[in-house]
A and B are shown apart, each in its own frame.
Chain A
């Protein structure tokens, strides 16, 4: 994060006066880092905050025809969605623009063009309203999203952040105090799900469909390797699993023909068993190493049923508290950005000289003032 000295107050719009003491802080959050546009309104207060409304537009169907996210198309869609979603959350929560105290947006990491859309609208709006704008780290949003759950976890905790873009284990001491314990050295877990689905002939993005198929598969027919299970550290590697799946497909399916449904389900099951084993084992090891008794799972793969069941059983056995964000907030969303924005609004600026950070190591985040 850029540390700015001699901050300039460029406030020109309405409502530039100080906020009345003790009034809850109303923050608009805008997420546009990849292929979902999310907008939300979060009301922060001394006694805790609450999510007033959130809205999401997913581009998954649009990118499906291309076999993956096309960054330029993602950006073109975001700029059509941010304002309508903003109007929607304001209407849904019976709030007016004049009620806003700040605007938060995802500053990175993510697709540069996509990030710029949210940043441009957020800063233009904040300037016009005379309120601060604050750039949020996308992964901090995910890390803090369990705070939107009821009950919310208390700090400190270990977080397993597992999505299409990331697989990380972090020790979370408080807002802005994160220590990376381990991460994927190659593919993210969600990415491995999608790529494996493609090998089995499922249409992009097939990760979720692969999980559904796995439920019907035979867990004992195939056994795939558990990459890095005995590596002695908390890092992951998932790209090798793809190769193992490809070998199975070549061995059991006829060349040039579709993989038969039963074989597909059994391979899907074997793949999922391997991923869940590794994710669960490393999460438990992270708890032991850091001496923590609370585990928080965030990110899209956190919606995976088998992972949830396994972690529930293992945590219950060890007396570890386990938290998941609400299912609808597992994917990218504006709610987590609005929440992080409310916690970081102290760092909000009124110079509106925005920039984005497509690559932004979480370790460079500062603790909010």
Chain B
């Protein structure tokens, strides 16, 4: 008899702190606007959903987390907690793109997702699938770019989703053919758990689970600073 896969998902990509448990049939989730308090909330939220599910960590098949892009600190809180939980409970960890989680949450089949990356830039990607429940394909891979320079991939009736659209109106303005847009849509652990059960993302050992920052250049070396003068 094959046991159902069960997951706990964590997300601290942005302001929300959210967790979800699912065995593919039943769903338990918690979300709270956390500000800077993700660290104070996240483990007690995990404990709360496990209690409600009557489950233990050791019953799970994996821990999934929102790997980014997003708040660097938030990504590391979710990743660090996932690493610790998984090491202690001897589970693998699945890193799931927060931009894909937005597409999943949008309940459309062609979605341009964008998150506020500050400094007039957005983290963005485009995703397509045949129909609800079928596998997501990457139409434009996750990247960071000035909001005004993002262009829709060809074909499809694209929908927009995510805080990138509300933070930078130029982003939506550059996409006049959008069929619809929901800037208020947020990354949730529920969407990450759905993607994990559908085996999206990267599954590996706990010590191989890392955030996907996308913005990789965060400081100038001494030589670069000298060259810039």
B81 touches A123 (CB 8 A): yes
**Stretch among B18-26, B84-92, B104-112, B121-129 lining the A interface:** B84-92
B83 touches A128 (CB 8 A): no
Most buried by B among A65, A116, A127, A354: A127
A14 to B51, CA, bound (A): 15
Question: Scoring A residues 4 to 16 as 1 if CB is less than 8 Å from chain B, else 0, what string do you get?
Answer: 0000101011100
Give, as a whole number of angstroms, the nearest-CB distance from A168 to chain B.
28
Q: Which residue from chain A places its CB closest to the CB of B72 in the assembled complex? A: A72
Interface of A is mostly: helix
A84 to B50, CA, bound (A): 28
User: Per a CB cutoff under 8 Å, which of B47, B87, B89, B218 touches A83?
Assistant: B87
Question: Scoring A residues 30 to 70 as 1 if CB is less than 8 Å from chain B, else 0, what string do you get?
Answer: 00000000000000000000000000000000000111001
B207 touches A120 (CB 8 A): no
B44 touches A352 (CB 8 A): yes
A13 touches B219 (CB 8 A): no
A355 to B77, CA, bound (A): 11
A117 to B72, CA, bound (A): 11
B82 touches A124 (CB 8 A): yes
A113 touches B73 (CB 8 A): yes
Give the size range of A's interface with the partner.
35 or more
Q: Which residues of A contact B88 (CB under 8 A)?
A: 13, 97, 124-129
Give the size range of B's interface with the partner.
35 or more
A124 touches B207 (CB 8 A): no
Tell me the chain B residues, 39-86 only, with Cβ under 8 Å from chain A: 39-41, 43-44, 46-47, 50-51, 56-58, 72-73, 76-77, 79-86
User: Per a CB cutoff under 8 Å, which of A66, A67, A87, A112 touches B207?
Assistant: A87
Q: Which residue from chain B places its CB closest to the CB of A64 in the assembled complex? A: B222
Known pairs A10-B44, A12-B50, A14-B58; A79 contacts B207 (CB<8 A): no
A121 touches B222 (CB 8 A): no
Give, as a whole number of angstroms, the nearest-CB distance from A96 to chain B.
11
Q: Which residue from chain B places its CB closest to the CB of A72 in the assembled complex? A: B218
User: Per a CB cutoff under 8 Å, which of B40, B44, B85, B210 touches A79?
Assistant: B210
User: Per a CB cutoff under 8 Å, which of A72, A79, A112, A129 touches B80?
Assistant: A79
Known pairs A10-B43, A10-B44, A14-B58; A116 contacts B77 (CB<8 A): yes
Is A283 among interface residues, defined by CB-CB distance under 8 A? no
Known pairs A65-B223, A124-B82, A128-B87; A80 contacts B210 (CB<8 A): yes
A-B pairs with CB below 8 Å: how many? Answer: 134
Give, as a whole number of angstroms, the nearest-CB distance from B44 to chain A.
6
A76 to B216, CA, bound (A): 10
A66 touches B219 (CB 8 A): yes
A113 touches B72 (CB 8 A): yes
B87 touches A123 (CB 8 A): no
Q: Which residues of B contact A276 (CB under 8 A)?
A: none
B89 touches A356 (CB 8 A): no
Give, as a whole number of angstroms, the nearest-CB distance from B56 to chain A.
6
A128 touches B72 (CB 8 A): no
Q: Which residues of A contact B57 (CB under 8 A)?
A: 12-13, 128
B43 touches A113 (CB 8 A): no
B47 touches A127 (CB 8 A): yes
User: Per a CB cutoff under 8 Å, which of B40, B73, B80, B211 touches A124?
Assistant: B80
A117 touches B76 (CB 8 A): yes
Is A296 among interface residues, defined by CB-CB distance under 8 A? no
User: Per a CB cutoff under 8 Å, which of B41, B83, B213 touches A76?
Assistant: B213
Can you list 7 A-B contacts (CB < 8 A)?
A: A12-B51, A83-B87, A120-B83, A128-B88, A204-B222, A352-B43, A353-B44
Interface residues of A (CB under 8 A from B): 8, 10, 12-14, 65-67, 70, 72-73, 75-76, 79-80, 82-84, 86-87, 97, 112-113, 116-129, 204, 351-356
Q: Which 6 A-B pairs have the closest CB atoms?
A: A124-B84, A128-B88, A120-B80, A83-B207, A125-B84, A352-B43
